[in-house]
Amino acid sequence: MTDTAARNPRNVRRPRLVRPPDEGWRELVTPEGVDLRLKVASYADRFVALVIDFLIIIGGLIVVTIGLFAVALATKLAPGTEVLGALWLIGIFFVREFYFMAFEVQPRAATPGKRIMGLRVVAANGGRLTANAVFARNAMREIEVFLPLAFVFARGQGVDGALIALGAIWSGVFVIFPLFNRERRRLGDLAAGTMVVKAPKQVLKPDLADTERTASRGLAFTTAQLDAYGVKELHVLEDVLRGADRKAVAEVALRIKAKIGWDGPADIADRTFLNAYYAGLRGRLESRLLFGRRRKDKFDVG
Amino acid sequence: MAELHLKSWRFRAEREADWRRLETLLGRAEKKGPAGLKRDEILEIPLLYRQALSSLSVARSISLDQSLVAYLESLCTRAYFFVYGARTRWPERLAGFFLRDWPRSVQALWRETLISFFLSAVATVAAYILVRRDSDWFYSFIAPDVASGRDPSAATTFLRHTLYDAPKAGQGGLTILASFLFTHNAQICLFSFALGFAFCLPTAALMVLNAGMLGAFIALFVSRDLGFEAVGWLMIHGTTELFAIVLSGAAGFSIGWAAAFPGARTRVDAIGEAGRRAATAMAGVVLMLFVAGCLEGFGRQLIQVDLVRYLIAGGMLILWLAYFYWPRKWPA
């Protein structure tokens, strides 16, 4: 009985493959052998970046149009207005097609909208981003954004209406394409071999373990008190200290004091106490790290 | 009391100046390009970049300051893209494009170009025959707003006028017309490139529709014994424009083909490769359309002699063919 079950693959229950939730980290190993870890940009960030770019384009066009009108009214010359009209038409075309390309071939590889959202375009294989790739990914924008928009704004009766509806559905597939792949690549990204990653500029913040700067010298903790927490809690504490939420600081200080059985001076400020504890805890965890022991969190006592 | 400080604190204190230096240099380089930096500073960047990378590796293994690691990651990523990114200057890149990249990518598309040309030719002939047999077919090929009165019900004298007279005041002047035609055609071409993605079919449909219009127009004018004149009127810019449209169709086909038959590569890789190659050809196509728009807007209205029109048409065609397909050694 067990024999047949083992031989017949249909009877064997295979363990279901459980994928860990994809948080969007992709590895990018430099030629020097260091993994830079890139994070795939979220849908929300990319959408907001697109909206910002469109607002900039539309705003620019309005300003230029008004400017040209003013010039045309001032000169009142027929040939002059004609040239201006031609300029305007060509200008619209170039702005619509080349706004994205012009910004993305620059060293920062991002349009103003993307820069504001901290995004940039990279080659999906980690290589260099070529001008061709930028052209391809933005030429595809034509069917991903403008074609569906054209269908949405088109109006028709009877058969025409049905055709337009079908067209809208068909072109809608292009719009939702990024929802169906792990790198959130749109068609243009696919055709160009690129993807958009979140790579915000970070500023170097002051070191919280600098006890002189935080005026928390002199507060000492026992080893037992420092062994109450692990790396995860340390990082949470860092976030709290770097944040501006005073209520959170007070609450966390209260919890930690209770947990470690704090019996030192009670009149110190919460922030000073937390800074001292952060420095102590980090020192303890880092020295254990040097001996090859990384304590994941407070439950990790092995 | 340095011994009271953490190892990771000292690690940071010793290297922070270098990181900040790299950050300033990168900021300037990203704003103004490499030209914004002095010679020594450019040479400094790769060194600082490698230092920062090694700092990142060390920080990951000894420091639990997550803001420090995040900062180094972002700094190294920026430096990586600067150090290993493309740094060609615009004049060089433009020269490379015209001398090498563009004709080469067009040559690489020769098979698709033939298919695209063949499709257009067949559609033109089919439309021509259909309209010659029964002039009602004309209306199914050409929308009324495109025809603007040039349909089978029009008088021969009117048709003759459209070939030689400048457009009426209502249609705007020559320059506006030229720029309108350019943007219109360029969008059609970008469409046929982009739509190739859906396994070539929409691109093929676009090519056939476009060629059908051409055939129907010619058939209409031939039926009034204006064939020779009409072809001259169309081809003065048409050799350039139709060539551009055929090429954009070819670019679309190459992407569609890669999507349908990726071969040994993964589908995504194949599409990406074909897309980048075709994109080079497409950038040039937009330029061709600009030339065609100028010929159409200015040349056609200013030159009224049929033979000169034919001369220009033939000359442009020979020029393009020689430029694209003349066998040559590629400069590096």
**A188-238 pLDDT per residue, tens:** 898 888 999 998 888 888 888 876 666 666 778 888 888 889 889 999 999
Task: Provide the mean pLDDT of chain B.
Answer: 84
Least confident of A282-291, B138-147, B232-241, B318-327: B138-147
Q: Under an 8 A CB cutoff, do A82 and B173 touch? A: yes
Q: Which two tokens stand for residue A45?
A: 């960030």
**Residue A50 has which token pair?**
């697109």
Q: Summarize pLDDT for B267-294 with one digit per residue, the tens.
A: 888 888 888 888 888 888 888 888 888 8
Which pLDDT score is estimated for B237?
Answer: 86
Whether residues B183 and A90 touch (CB distance < 8 A) is answered with: yes
Cβ <8 Å between B280 and A199: no
CA of A173 vs chain B CAs: smallest distance (Å): 11
* Mutation target vs A (from B22, B31, B77; most A CBs, 10 A cutoff): B77
| Highest-confidence segment of A63-72, A182-191, B295-304, B311-320 | B311-320
Q: Grade residue B30 by pLDDT with cuts at 50, 70 and 90.
A: confident
CB spacing of A142 vs B75 below 8 angstroms: no
B67, B78, B289: best to mutate for the A interface, most A CBs within 10 A: B67
The angle formed by the CA atoms of residues B131, B135 and B139, to the nearest 5 degrees, is 85
pLDDT at A91 over 70: yes
- The number of C-beta contacts closer than 8 angstroms across A and B is 198
Residue scoring higher pLDDT (A283 or B296): A283
Q: Please give the single-letter amino acid code of residue B326.
A: W
Higher pLDDT, A142 or A275: A275
Q: Do B62 and A242 touch (CB under 8 A)?
A: no
pLDDT at B117 > cutoff 90 = yes
- Report the residue from A133, A191, A285 with minimal CB separation from B255: A191
Q: Say if residues A274 and A237 touch (Cβ distance below 8 Å).
A: yes
Nearest CB neighbour to B62, from listed A129, A130, A290: A290
The minimal CB distance from B19 to the residues A31, A83, A204 is found for: A204
Q: Which pLDDT score is estimated for A77?
A: 61
Task: Return d(Cα B54, Cα B41) in angstroms, integer.
Answer: 20
Q: What is the pTM of this model?
A: 0.76
- Confidence (pLDDT) at A45: 94
CA distance to partner chain A, nearest, from residue B295 (Å): 15
Q: Do B175 and A83 touch (CB under 8 A)?
A: yes
Tokens of B297: 């807007």
Q: How far does A231 lie from chain B, in Å, by closest CA?
A: 7
pLDDT at A294: 84
Q: Which of residues B306 and B183 earns the better pLDDT score?
A: B306
Mutation site for A-interface testing, chosen from B64, B68, B83, B94 by largest number of A Cβ within 10 Å:
B64
CA distance A94 to chain B (A): 9
Mean pLDDT in residue range B129-142: 86
Domain residue extents for chain B: 2-87, 91-325
| For the ranges A111-125, B80-94, B152-166, the one whose mean pLDDT is highest | A111-125
Closest alpha carbon within chain A to B174: A82
Does B172 have pLDDT greater than 60? no
Amino acid B122: pLDDT: 95
Of A30, A187, A211, the CB nearest to B80: A30
Over the range A224-248, which residues count as b (16 or more CB within 10 Å of their CB) and which as e? ebbbebbbebbeebbebbeeeeeee
Query: Which residues in chain A are contacts of B175 at CB distance < 8 A?
Result: 82-83, 85-86
Q: Phi then psi for A300, rounded to 5 degrees?
A: -85, 90
- Per CB-CB distance under 8 Å, the chain B contacts of A131 are 86, 93
Q: How far is A194 from chain B (nearest CA, A)?
A: 8
Higher pLDDT, A198 or B331: A198
From chain B, pick out residues whose CB is under 8 angstroms from the CB of A82. Answer: 172-176
Which residue stretches of B196-305 are H helix? 201-223, 227-260, 267-294, 300-302
Q: Shortest CB distance from A286 goes to which of B8, B12, B53?
A: B8
CB distance B20–A211 less than 8 Å?
A: no
Residue B166 pLDDT:
55
Distance to chain A for B211, nearest Cα, Å: 22
Task: With CB atoms and an 8 Å threshold, state whether A32 touches B269.
Answer: no
Averaged pLDDT for residues B54-75: 91
CB contact under 8 A, A89 and B81: no
Contact yes or no for B276 and A132 at CB 8 A: yes
For residues A47 and A53, give the distance between their C-alpha atoms in angstroms, rounded to a whole number. Answer: 10
Residue of A105, A108, A296 to mutate, testing the B interface (most B Cβ within 10 Å of its Cβ) = A108
Predicted ipTM? 0.81
Contacts of B243 (CB under 8 A, 6+ apart): B288, B317, B320
Q: Do A89 and B173 touch (CB under 8 A)?
A: no
CA distance A6 to chain B (A): 35
Structure tokens at B152: 């089978």
Q: Which residues of B touch A97 (CB under 8 A)?
A: 186, 190, 286
pLDDT at B16: 93
Chain A residue numbers touching B272 (CB-CB < 8 A):
124, 190-193
Across the interface, do A139 and B282 touch by the CB < 8 Å criterion? yes
Candidates B9, B56, B267, B285, partner chain A, best to mutate (most A CBs within 10 A) = B9
Q: How far apart are CA B218 and CA B163, in angstroms?
A: 12
Question: Residue A172 — pLDDT band, cuts 50, 70, 90?
Answer: confident
Give every CB contact of residue B191 below 8 A, 6+ residues apart in sequence.
Answer: A142, A143, A147, B206
Report the relative pairing of strands A25-26 and A38-40 from DSSP bridges: antiparallel
**Tens-digit pLDDT profile for residues B74-91:** 999 999 988 887 665 667
Report the distance separating Cα B177 and Cα A146, nearest Å.
23
pLDDT value of position B170: 42
Is residue B171's pLDDT more than 60? no
Q: Which residues of B touch A290 (CB under 8 A)?
A: 7, 62
